[in-house]
Each structure stands twice: as C-alpha cells, then as structure tokens.
C-alpha cells in the first residue's frame, strides 16, 4: 500500500510529472503527499534568507504543477488540497531526505536523478545516488532526460527473491482497478530446473521461478506476459524495458548491510556495481527500487 508519498523537489527535473502519473492510478487516490525542498547552508545570513525565499518559490511552483483539485474543476484525476503539504528544511539534502522519509513514515520517495553512475556520482555529489543507497524505503527515480508517460505497462524484474516478491506486490497494488494495465515479468538467467533454456525462451511461462508470480497475477485478473532472457542482468533488463515499452520498471534493491552499518555507505551500490544501480542509470523508463 502507498498511503504516504514524499516528493523531493529541486526546481528542475520531472518529479512533478511523475507524481501526476501516479495520481492517475486509482490506488493513489487517497494518498497523502509531501513536497519537500531542502535548502543547503549558506555562508552568510543574507544568503540564507535569499535561499529560503528561493525555496519557498520552488515549492510554490511545484505545487502549481501537480494535479490538485481546484474550484474550476479538472478533466484529470486529482488530489484534494488537504492531501498535499509542503515542507522547507535546511541541511544537506543527502541527509535530510531520508531523515524526513523516516519521520513521516512514508511508503514511497520520489526523486529526480541526473543518471550519473559509478565514480561520477561521487565526484559530482549526486544527491539521488546517496539517498538511494541510504534510504530504507521504496524509491522512485526519474532521470532528467526521461519522458514521463501515462502509467499502463509495468515491468517487474523477477527472480523469486524476497525483494522481487516485494516488487511484484507493489506492481499488483499499482495496477489494481486500472483499466488497460499490463504487467510484464522479466526473468534473466533462469535456473534450469527440469526444463531447457530453449524451452524457456520459447515458452517463458514454463519457468518454475515465475509460476508463483503468474498465479498471483491471474488471481487478480490482470493482463500479463513473461519474458525470459540470458545475459548481463542490468543490460538485459534495460533492453527488455525498451522492447516492451515499459512505463515503469520495478526491481528489488535489498539492503545488504547489517543493521549496525546501515548508516554507512554501501560501496558496491554507490560505485554502481549492483544491478539496481545499473538499471537506475541506464533504463529509459522511471525506475522504482523496492526495499
């Protein structure tokens, strides 16, 4: 369930368009949305006042972009004014965004991303990259060069792992009561359990790993299809997403660190060595990373 959404706004990117695409989904109709802008500390009090004023204006512009029901009415789905709040905080965005997410106990974080990978993200101080690896909540990343479509077709990377099952549950939630919605299950490098790779490539639904997921989808009466491929997981998932014209890609991004170390940096993820990080950087579609 997504009851609370935190949207980190910066005055650039497509986070508002992504939120509007979600608002069009029936399951998001009752969600509470918080628009957050973080003002970084300035050298002087005068500069700080100017930055705060700029932040207020950014929040005002962001609020004007999202689908909030207004007296004159609208032809699109919209949130009631009481469902949307704005928040201005001071500090380092890399720390403030995940902290606010925890304070509000949100179910989803939406952030923009320049799509930087590996060391470049560190060298250019990528906020979304740090938040991605520090946050404990699902995170929807929208690259600055991504065109946000109406959400109809969801691609779920599925390997039977707990995080993949969580991704499937999230996709089923998003598609509920959505007319014309479709779910695509993608399995890369499937284990060959009593079936040959050739058979799986010809008939993906024969995959033992996908069987449980398929059963759940059928129980919901949703339109679906399956894709099985071999290859580098990150590269192959991005290729599948492009081929099926996915509007949103969902994949698990489990936190591999012990509880005591979760405030520390996961270097593999920060350096771009995980599948989820590769997809985050290279997919043409928005990417929802499920924890």
| Domain ranges (residues) in the chain | 4-143, 153-290
Which DSSP string corresponds to 53-68?
A: HHHHHHHHHHHHHS-B
Tokens of 93: 């965005």
Does residue 250 sit in helix, strand or coil?
strand
Domain spanning 4-143 has what CATH number? 3.40.50.620
- pLDDT confidence of residue 122: 42
- pLDDT confidence of residue 208: 92
By CB atoms closer than 10 A (0-12, 13-18, 19+), residue 25 is buried
CA 8 – CA 170 distance, rounded (Å):
21
Sign for the pseudo-dihedral over CA of 170, 172, 176, 179: positive
Which tens digits make up the pLDDT trace of 114-150?
655 544 444 345 677 778 777 789 999 998 877 787 9
- pLDDT confidence of residue 253: 80
Sheet containing strand 248-252, strands side by side: 84-90, 32-39, 4-8, 108-113, 139-143, 287-290, 248-252, 153-157, 182-188, 223-229
What is the number of other CB atoms lying within 10 angstroms of the CB of residue 82? 9
pTM > 0.95: no
Beta carbons of 26 and 177 less than 8 angstroms apart = yes
Residue segments in the chain with a per-residue pLDDT below the cut of 50? 118-124, 256-262, 264, 266-272
Q: Is CATH 3.40.462.10 what the domain over 153-290 is classified as, yes or no?
A: no
């Amino acid at each position: 369930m997504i009851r609370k959404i935190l949207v980190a706004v910066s005055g650039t990117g497509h986070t508002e368009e992504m939120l509007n695409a979600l608002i069009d989904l029936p399951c998001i109709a009752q969600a509470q949305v918080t628009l957050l802008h973080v003002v970084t500390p300035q050298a002087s009090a005068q500069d700080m006042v100017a930055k705060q004023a700029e932040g207020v204006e950014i929040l005002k512009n962001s609020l004007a972009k999202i689908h909030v029901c207004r007296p004159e009415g609208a032809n699109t789905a919209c949130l009631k004014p009481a469902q949307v709040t704005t928040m201005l905080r001071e500090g380092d965005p890399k720390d403030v965004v995940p902290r606010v997410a925890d304070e509000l106990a949100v179910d989803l974080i939406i952030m923009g991303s320049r799509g930087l990978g590996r060391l470049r993200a560190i060298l250019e101080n990528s906020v979304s990259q740090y938040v991605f690896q520090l946050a404990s909540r699902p995170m929807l990343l929208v690259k600055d060069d991504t065109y946000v479509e109406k959400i109809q077709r969801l691609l779920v990377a599925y390997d039977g792992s707990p995080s993949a099952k969580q991704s499937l549950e999230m996709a089923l939630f998003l598609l509920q009561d959505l007319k014309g919605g479709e779910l695509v299950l993608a399995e890369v490098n499937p284990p060959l359990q009593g079936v040959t790779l050739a058979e799986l490539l010809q008939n993906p639904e024969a995959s033992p790993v996908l069987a449980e997921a398929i059963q759940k989808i059928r129980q919901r009466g949703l339109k679906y299809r399956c894709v099985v491929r071999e290859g580098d997981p990150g590269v192959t998932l991005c290729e599948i997403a492009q081929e099926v014209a996915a509007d949103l890609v969902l994949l698990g991004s489990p936190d591999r660190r012990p509880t005591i170390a979760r405030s520390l940096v996961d270097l593999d993820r920060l350096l771009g060595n995980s599948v989820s990080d590769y997809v985050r950087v290279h997919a043409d579609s928005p990417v929802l990373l499920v924890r």
